[in-house]
Amino acid sequence: MKAVPVAGIAGAWLFEPTPHVDARGFFSRTFDREVVASVGIDPDCFAQDSLSRSVKGVIRGMHLRSGAGESKLVRCSYGEVFDVVVDLRPDSPTFRNTEYFRLSGDTQVTVYVPAGCAHGFQALTEPADVSYRIDRPHDPSEDVTIAFDDPDLAIPWPLPVTLTSDRDRSAPSLAEVLRTLR
């Protein structure tokens, strides 16, 4: 497994595994504490693993946490997703930068999303499973959502949107959220 810095988001990383492929399929290490530690991330900081399954076209996001924020490792364990990270840390050298990734069960690449960055994805396959390793327990009172279709974000979602949650559909604009985060 190797760690690759994400150029457009300070502190974000891609962890690229080396799958072992044979006639049976593949075996892949999806987390390696030594590789994670080698880039300055405490591998023991993670407190919760979660999994979402989405149908093709679903958008989940854009989400982040208020307060201390939330860092996470995100991996598409089955299928494929268009993954988005937006840096919303005002003191970051990459503030308001956006990066896009195609994550898939075939590659098992993981993206590290630093605390203070918004995250979301669109399922490109039927279904798509996304695994999250999160650095603190979920507290719904700290949930922050930004409109996935906000023109200031201008995210080029690759498919028509099939479904979103009520929370995502009624989310405020990026400008409104930035005013409340300061």
Q: Residue 119 catalytic?
A: no
Residue 133 belongs to what domain range? 2-181
Q: Residue 78 catalytic?
A: no
In the chain, % of residues over pLDDT 90: 92
Pick 73 or 21 by higher pLDDT.
73
* 61 and 177 Cβ atoms separated by less than 8 Å: no
Pick 71 or 138 by higher pLDDT.
71
Q: What's the rounded Cα separation, in Å, for the pair 48 and 169?
A: 26
Query: How do residues 140-158 score in pLDDT, each as one tens digit?
Result: 999 999 999 999 999 999 9
Counting the structural domains of the chain, the total is 1
* 118 and 126 Cβ atoms separated by less than 8 Å: no
Choose the catalytic residue: 63, 78, 100, 138. 63
In this prediction, residue 181 carries a pLDDT of 80
Whichever domain contains 41, its CATH number is 2.60.120.10
In this prediction, residue 182 carries a pLDDT of 66
Segment 35-41 mean pLDDT: 96
Indicate the pTM of the whole model: 0.94
Q: What's the rounded Cα separation, in Å, for the pair 113 and 157?
A: 19
Query: How do residues 90-104 score in pLDDT, each as one tens digit?
Result: 999 999 999 999 999
Q: What's the rounded Cα separation, in Å, for the pair 44 and 27?
A: 24
Choose the catalytic residue: 20, 119, 132, 138. 132
Q: What's the rounded Cα separation, in Å, for the pair 95 and 89?
A: 6
pLDDT band of residue 67 (cuts 50, 70, 90) is: confident
